[in-house]
Amino acid sequence: MTKQNGLHDAGAAANQTRSARTAHIAEPNMPFVEFIILMALLMSLAALCTDSIMPAFSIIGAEFGHSSPQELQKIITIFFAGLAIGQLIYGPLSDQIGRKSGMFIGLVIFIIGNLMSWFSTSFEMLLLGRFLQGFGVAGPRIVMIALIRDLYAGREMARIMSFVMGLFIFVPALAPISGQTIMAISGWRSVFFSFILLATIGGLWLGFRQNETLHPSRRIKVTPSNLWRGSKVIFTTPSCLGYMVAAGFVQGPFMLYLSTAQHLFQSTYGLGTLFPFAFAGLAFSVGFASFMNSRLVLRFGMRYLVRRALIAMAIIAALGLACTMPFGFVPELWMLFVIFSPLFFCTGLLFGNMNTLAMEEVGNVAGMASAWVGAVSTLIAMTIATLMGQIYDGSILALLGSFMVGSSITMLLTILTERWRERRDRENALAQ
């Protein structure tokens, strides 16, 4: 009888935990497809700002006298620095003033940053504008995740994030092509005008069509004590802390690829104006994986897919290093695609699932949680990309090495996270 009571109590505790995870769910007000497209547009602004400008690197370097790959990488890394810092601001702010207001503030700063870059007269002014672009776009990017968490939880949230990430990848996959076209017509500075136009469209669409998802009764005033309590919840919740750090090691190799892709394809492989098409070809692997994940996650679950994707990524990267060593890590272009297409497919499976797992148990502080998850993972990724970028030599050695090591570390982190989470759940069940 005691054993049965113990099992009943443990089951009740588990149900209570599941209820807490799905608490505070608001009601969607937009058609499903329209909601996905709007969220993808707002999220894709960050990727568009990195990918569309890549074809202009050599022109910018020549105009401002900064032609080394390491110097031009700053155009990408300074953007991510602003993105990482901005995320810490908008998340807690959106918990107080609402999701839509937080996004609007970010979009205004984003437009200011684009105007500064558009009229830049020096490399330093361009970088400052890029920092403001990252700081501003952090608003819609990070608050969007909190908004989705207000409406969905668990596997359903992972499914929504997969659709959003799928469109998010497909749009910027074409960004270098559109950027190159805009440059050919009206110069590289006009690319920033296209960002302003898209931000304006997204802001108006959000304002007129999407209801506020954070009810006034659930808002949390930004005070030192509330920030401390919210942060304490986030950093003592196993799934949030573990997958937050793990996401950084997944994003790092991909960020390194973004910062070196232009040099790799145009200088190492001499593709010239064909670079955007090669970039798009590989990016489609990530987008396809995200769409596939929307189906797979309902059948297998997030944790199963994350583990299998990490194992596959480590094996593919290791085999890639072994196979390309005889070529001095500069294989034929077809071999590069054979290696990186499945690597990016695994990356597409990981992005949405790891963000969802990090947010799964912290829905009551979704804004602050999305801020910490985004900021910490971006800072880790930026550090990895910056350090590995210093040893980038035009080959794929640094890229494959970062994917192999990053996936291995991430696998270890996910194992430790799940053990910590399971131990906490057992202790909570026994304490009931």
CA nearest 113: which of 100, 126, 103, 104? 126
Per-residue pLDDT in tens (0 to 9) along the chain, 432 residues: 444 444 343 334 344 444 444 445 678 888 988 998 899 889 888 878 887 888 888 888 888 887 777 788 788 889 988 988 898 889 889 989 999 999 999 999 999 999 999 999 999 999 999 999 999 999 998 888 889 888 887 778 878 877 777 666 666 567 777 888 888 888 889 999 999 999 999 999 999 999 999 888 888 888 888 889 889 999 999 889 999 999 999 999 988 998 888 889 988 999 988 888 888 888 888 878 877 887 888 888 889 999 999 999 999 999 999 999 999 999 999 999 999 999 999 998 897 788 888 888 887 787 788 889 888 988 899 899 888 888 889 999 999 999 999 999 999 999 999 999 888 888 888 877
Q: In whole angstroms, what is the distance from residue 138 CA to residue 132 CA?
A: 10
Return contacts of 24-30, CB within 8 angstroms, 24+ apart: 24/150, 24/218, 24/363, 24/364, 24/366, 25/150, 25/151, 25/152, 25/153, 25/363, 26/150, 26/151, 26/213, 26/214, 26/215, 27/151, 28/151, 29/210, 29/211, 30/209, 30/210
Domains of the chain: 32-212+235-427 (1.20.1250.20)
Instruction: Count Cα neighbours of 312 within 13 Å in the Cβ-side half-sphere.
Output: 18
pLDDT for 170 equals: 66
Other C-beta atoms lying within 10 Å of the C-beta of residue 5: 9
Q: In whole angstroms, what is the distance from residue 354 CA to residue 165 CA?
A: 12
pLDDT for 5 equals: 42
The residue type of 427 is E
Q: In whole angstroms, what is the distance from residue 131 CA to residue 125 CA?
A: 10
Calculate the CA 222 to chain-centre distance: 25
Other C-beta atoms lying within 10 Å of the C-beta of residue 289: 26
Q: In whole angstroms, what is the distance from residue 143 CA to residue 99 CA?
A: 6
Give the three-state DSSP class for 296: helix
Q: In whole angstroms, what is the distance from residue 398 CA to residue 169 CA?
A: 23
Other C-beta atoms lying within 10 Å of the C-beta of residue 67: 12
271's enclosing H/E stretch is none
Q: In whole angstroms, what is the distance from residue 297 CA to residue 183 CA?
A: 40
CA nearest 178: which of 5, 21, 53? 53
pLDDT for 52 equals: 82
Residues 6+ apart with CB under 8 A from 409: 249
CA nearest 237: which of 17, 431, 9, 11? 17
Q: In whole angstroms, what is the distance from residue 81 CA to residue 388 CA?
A: 16
